Amino acid sequence: MDTDKLIASLTENADPVQRLPSPWVRTASWFAIAVPYIAVIVMMMAPRDDLAVKFTDFRFLLEQIAALCTAIGAAVAAFQSIVPGYNRRFLLLPLVPLSVWLASVGEGCVEAWLRGGALQNFTSDFLCIPAIALVGMLPAVAMALMLRKGAPLWPHTSAALGGLAAAGLGNFGLRLFHGQDASLMVLVWQMGTVFMLTILCGWAGRLFLDWRPVVARVRRNLAAH
Amino acid sequence: MQAAQAGDMRAYERLLREITPRLRQMVRKRRQFFTAEEVEDLVQEILLSIHAVRATYDPKRPFMPWLSTIAHNRLIDSARRFYRGKSNEVQMDELPVTFAGDWTNIENEEYRDPEELSIAIKSLPEGQRKAIEMLKLREMSLKEAAAASGTTIGALKISIHRAVLNLRKALNKE
């Protein structure tokens, strides 16, 4: 098709569009969907008995806040990554809370190592993988649907950030009903699952974020008119 | 773009017409090995992409970085597809014939020595020579040749078949 004709048909079919809200507003909307779901899951799984005591534990609080901030930072970065024109340095936003989270868990591991017997308490805890996936499932689906409304500029990065946001939130929810606080266990099973899910989502990015279907949809609309 | 988002068709058309030469220039500069047709295809892809994601533009932010991010992204995307396509292609020599055997290449065979061919035709029996002259040299139809020579079409077909065999034999011998 001639470019002039293409412009003419694009403008003929240019219906008003609803502007995409800012990444922070979209993060708040995503949270409004994810938080009630996580609350329901935590209630269904029964919150841990020592939860009230845990809220006075500095390390637990720090790690939970860091997990929550990682989820928020990753969600903001994911929503920014699908808006053209933003500085790509914003994509590093979740690294700050993530490093606090890792440092706290790492410090706990070192402390346990110095005390001795850190490895003796290490057991397999495969429950973490499906549990984090279950808690993070709806947030992940909501995130994927919301990311599809933007421009698929960096599919793998956007999907990985979205996955980190969902898995971070999943881990936050998990620790409210799963009584496992040994740092090495948290590092290997919980954070390991978060990283694994992040990588998996990043790998699958191009399956739902790609220019081809986006452009094909426009072509179909043009052909239909 | 703000007006275009609100559904102002004229403003949108003006904007697209203004940015198209810039996009064309950008594509030409970055993809110097592209043909004019490929450049135009990529410009159209960028225009379609802009149209598809026009809801992501925030009027509080500058327009040019928004536009150049999309254009740059589509350029990278096209390069990725180009190299992926190239890596899946198998380079082959263009073969002039389907099979290597001599019998498949009769149609493309050229008589290198017309004089030799002329002598071979003259040495054919009269019926076969006349058949060759009428059907192959004068390019008459079987019906016309049959009427001119006073024979049947079937007899002409036999004569031409035998003539070709004799000519091939005579020319290959030397």
Q: What tens digit of pLDDT does each residue of A31-41 get?
A: 999 999 999 99
List, for residues A137-193, the tens digit of each pLDDT value.
999 999 999 999 999 999 999 999 999 999 999 999 988 888 777 778 878 888 888
Q: Which residue in the set A16, A83, A149 is minimally distant from B6, CB to CB?
A: A16
Q: Is the dihedral of CA A181, A184, A187, A188 positive or negative?
A: negative
Q: In this structure, what DSSP letter does residue A21 have? A: P
Cα angle, residue A161 at apex, residues A126 and A98 outer, rounded to 5°: 70
Nearest to B43 among A3, A10, A18 (CB): A3
- A49 near A170, Cβ under 8 Å? no
Using alpha carbons, list the distances in angstroms from residue A14 to A225, B54, B64: 11, 10, 21
A136 pLDDT exceeds 70?
yes
- What lies within 8 Å, CB to CB, of B81 at 6+ separation is none
Using CA atoms, how far apart are residues B78 and B47, in angstroms rounded to an integer?
A: 14
Q: State the Cα–Cα distance between residues A81 and A153, nearest whole angstrom.
A: 7
Give per-residue pLDDT as tens, B9-43. 888 889 999 999 999 998 888 887 778 888 888 89
Mean pLDDT, chain B, rounded, equals 82
| pLDDT reading at B112 higher than 70 | no
pTM for this entry: 0.73
Could you say which of A3, A20, A217 has the minimum Cβ distance to residue B56? A20
Chain B nearest-CA residue for A12:
B9
* Nearest-CA distance A149 → chain B (Å): 8
* Among A6, A18, A22, A158, the residue to mutate for chain B (most B Cβ within 10 A): A6
B70: closest chain A residue by CA? A84
CB contact under 8 A, A17 and B45: no
Q: Over the stretch A79-102, which tens digit does the pLDDT of each residue have?
A: 999 999 888 888 888 999 999 999
Q: What is the DSSP letter of B53?
A: T
Give the pLDDT of residue A120.
72
Read off the pLDDT of residues B35-89 as tens digits, 9 standing for 90 and up: 888 888 889 999 999 999 999 998 888 999 999 999 999 988 888 777 776 677 7
Contact A151 B12 (CB under 8 A): no
CA distance B92 to chain A (A): 30
Shortest Cα–Cα distance, A143 to chain B (Å): 16
Nearest to A27 by CA among A134, A132, A139, A136: A139
A16, A151, A218 member nearest B5 (Cβ):
A16
Count CB atoms within 10 A of the CB of residue B85.
9
